[in-house]
A = this chain, B = another copy of it.
Amino acid sequence: MDKLIIAEKEFQSRLFLGTGKFGTPKIMEDAVLASGSELVTVALKRIDFETQTDNLLEHLHHPQINLLPNTSGARNAKEAVFAAQLAREAMETNWVKLEIHPDPKHLMPDPIETLKATEELAKLGFIVMPYIHADPVLCKRLEDAGTDAVMPLGSPIGSNKGLRTSDFLEIIIEQSKVPVVIDAGIGAPSDAAKAMEMGADAVLVNTAIAVSENPVEMAKAFKLAVEAGRMAFEAKLGRENKTAKASSPLTAFLD
């Protein structure tokens, strides 16, 4: 399989993980390791700066794992930029997953503030990966603003509904010059495989692994599914057919 490159960094794995909702930090660690993921997103809010007793980061302290602080909870560009700066200090990385969602119920991302924050963060030298609605025009504008990837959603976050936005993801993938990472809504390995088959560059999964009865096994399942989907994309799938086509010839030997 060809490799994924974001902002000149090379990734072997096309599966990114979120760290929320796990039963314990240890289960999270085991699941992350089982997934083979090299990019793991962490909410800035979950880091305890003062007491230094927070061990979430300790559990992610492995050579292959890169941290992707996210700005979850930010309601506008200003809050997000501030959060990104704090994260850069705290986690010693200039990568940031930009999340701006003013509505606490549905957590849908704000296109206007996200574009504004992307412009600012890019100027400040951040590697920016914005979480957005599956909006093809917004993706192009984020490119112009200097984004390093786009992270369109598959369906509402945490809904496990899969790739409801596939008609728009197809356009985004066709047009994008930066990597496309499908984020939110991926509820099963089959969804992750499908995203990769469509030509997405990577997927980010959290809820589906964290709330499984067996997060470590589920992480492995996602690992395989992402590889399967990417292999199928590279080997090229056939198309849907309107009429049945027999796999076996019909020259009737019985006549």
Contacts and interface: CB of A to CB of B under 8 A. Distances in A.
A30 interface: no
Name the interface size band of chain A: 35 or more
Nearest to A114: B137
A252 B73 contact: yes
Contacts of A206: 247
Interface stretch (A2-10, A58-66, A120-128, A222-230): A222-230
Nearest to A236: B213
B229 A227 contact: no
A210 interface: yes
Contacts of A213: 235-236
Contacts of A197: 188-190
Nearest to A79: B254
B135 A135 contact: yes
Contact of A157 (B99, B188, B191, B244): B244
Contact of A106 (B115, B171, B189): B171
Contacts of A212: 232, 235-238
A214 interface: yes
Given A103-B136, A106-B171, A238-B187, A248 B43 contact: yes
Contact of A188 (B161, B193, B218, B246): B193
Given A45-B251, A110-B137, A224-B228, A246 B158 contact: yes
A75 B141 CA distance: 13
A111 B136 CA distance: 10
Contacts of A101: 137
A253 B72 CA distance: 10
Interface in A37-53: 43-46
Given A46-B249, A190-B194, 5 more contacts: A20-B246, A45-B253, A73-B254, A102-B137, A208-B238
